[in-house]
Amino acid sequence: MGKITAALLAFVHAAILAYHLNDLPPAVSPPDINAAATDLTDLATAAAAAAHPLFTPEQLSQHTTKPILLAILGDVFDVTTGATHYAKGSSYAHFAGRDASRAFATGDNTASGLTDDVSGLDDEALHSIGSWHSFFANHGTYTRAGRVIGRHYHSDGSPTHAFPREALEQAAAEEAERKRRRPQCNSRWSANEGSEVWCSVKSGGIERDWIGVPRRYTESLDPAAQGSRGDGGSGGGGSGGGVGGASPEQCVCLAPEEAARTREMPVPYLALYPGCSPDAERCIKTPPPSTRLPSSVDVG
């Protein structure tokens, strides 16, 4: 009888255990990491789209009245608060409803000039467009409204890098370094005394612990300056080009070390001023008219 009772109890316990096991909820599968990552990517994309709505050029063209939208380098800005400038009939109405990046530098307001194509422009013009972009981006009342699909942004809102922003920043940094090493001279001119250039510890706006000596710097002959321009750099001529629109020839102050080095090994882009000592801190660039020799002599 004892064995039957024990067997019966074991059977009852097994039945109860089986009942509870069958009553448990199904096992939960571990989360799909790839699916979670996809969800996060979708959320990020959605957030970016919300922050930067995408316009086609046709859609943008419809916004020449409130709200007044314009684009520069593909970024769309709401300039409704500047309606006195951008509304129909105003001075800059031709910028509304389009990306006319090129015209911000060239001033060409013809149909062909009002384009987002900035190819072929020199560094000075590209910097001008970049400055206008910063003007709109940092304006107190103009706000970002999105991006326009086309030359500067793909259909998914990613940049095309058509504007050489990184190259310009690198060129600007190199130009700033050149100006730090070779600051511009002080200069003055008068009808009685002619033109004089000289160096000081603050000339060119660069404070330093050396004075330097004046040299005539010709940018078009400097291999380092030419190399920093890249394909978009401007050529010679009176406008100069280069970052910041530097003139093709200017007076710079050389540090004592470089002055000594160029005396030993002269370079064509750093020339002495005629009649000026290599160690002089001041040079007469152009003598007054009364002391100049005639450019030609009539021998009859």
Number of independent structural domains in the chain: 2
198 with 99, same domain: the answer is no
Single out the residue in 120, 140, 163 at which a domain terminates.
163
Residue 238 pLDDT exceeds 50: no
Q: Are 96 and 70 in contact (CB under 8 A)?
A: yes
Single out the residue in 108, 138, 163 at which a domain terminates.
163
**H helix intervals, 24-67:** 33-51, 57-60
Range scoring the smallest mean pLDDT among 100-109, 112-121, 141-150, 234-243: 234-243
Give me the sign of the Cα torsion angle 80, 84, 88, 90: negative
85 with 139, same domain: the answer is yes
Structure tokens at 197: 């250039």
Most confident range (mean pLDDT) of 7-21, 83-97, 213-227 is 83-97
Amino acid at the residue 167: A
pLDDT for res 50: 57
183 with 287, same domain: the answer is yes
Structure tokens at 283: 């040079």
59 with 158, same domain: the answer is yes
Q: Answer whether residue 44 is part of any domain.
A: no
Closest Cα partner for 276 from 263, 289, 265?
A: 263
Residue 281 pLDDT exceeds 50: yes
67 with 131, same domain: the answer is yes
Q: Answer whether residue 67 is part of any domain.
A: yes
Q: Are 72 and 99 in contact (CB under 8 A)?
A: yes
Q: Answer whether residue 25 is part of any domain.
A: no
* Residue that the structure tokens 């511009």 belong to: 184
Interval 140-145 mean pLDDT: 97
Report the side by side order of strands in the sheet with 54-55. 54-55, 143-148, 75-78, 69-72
Range scoring the smallest mean pLDDT among 96-105, 152-161, 285-294: 285-294
Residue 93 lies in domain: 54-163
Q: Are 271 and 218 in contact (CB under 8 A)?
A: yes
Range scoring the smallest mean pLDDT among 72-76, 146-150, 156-160, 176-180: 176-180
Angle between helices 165-181 and 123-137 (to 10 degrees): 110
67 with 149, same domain: the answer is yes
Interval 59-64 mean pLDDT: 97
pLDDT for res 29: 45
Q: How confident is the model at residue 38 (pLDDT cuts 50, 70, 90)?
A: low
pLDDT for res 299: 39
Q: Answer whether residue 43 is part of any domain.
A: no
Run of H or E residues at 149? none
Whole-prediction pTM: 0.56
71 with 103, same domain: the answer is yes
CA 230 – CA 168 distance, rounded (Å): 9
Interval 165-181 mean pLDDT: 88
Structure tokens at 5: 């009772």
Interval 254-267 mean pLDDT: 93
Instruction: Tell me how crowded residue 258 is: count the other CB atoms within 10 A of its CB.
Output: 18
Single out the residue in 140, 163, 186 at which a domain terminates.
163
193 with 243, same domain: the answer is yes
Q: How confident is the model at residue 86 (pLDDT cuts 50, 70, 90)?
A: very high
Torsion of CA 224, 275, 184, 181, to 10 degrees: 50
Q: Answer whether residue 42 is part of any domain.
A: no
Residue 32 pLDDT exceeds 70: no
Q: Are 161 and 244 in contact (CB under 8 A)?
A: no
Q: Which residues contact 140 (CB under 8 A, 6 or more apart)?
A: none
Interval 141-161 mean pLDDT: 96
111 with 190, same domain: the answer is no
Q: What percent of the chain has pLDDT over 70?
A: 71
pLDDT for res 176: 87
Q: Answer whether residue 1 is part of any domain.
A: no
99 with 129, same domain: the answer is yes
153 with 58, same domain: the answer is yes
Residue 283 pLDDT exceeds 90: yes
pLDDT for res 296: 45
Q: Answer whether residue 46 is part of any domain.
A: no
pLDDT for res 39: 55
Q: Answer whether residue 222 is part of any domain.
A: yes
pLDDT digits (tens, 9 = 90+) for 185-237: 999 998 888 899 999 999 999 999 999 999 999 988 988 776 555 444 433 33
**Domain of residue 81, CATH code:** 3.10.120.10
Q: Is 237 left (phi over 0), alpha (psi -120 to 50) or beta?
A: left
78 with 132, same domain: the answer is yes
Q: Reduced to 3 states, what is the DSSP secondary structure of residue 198?
A: strand
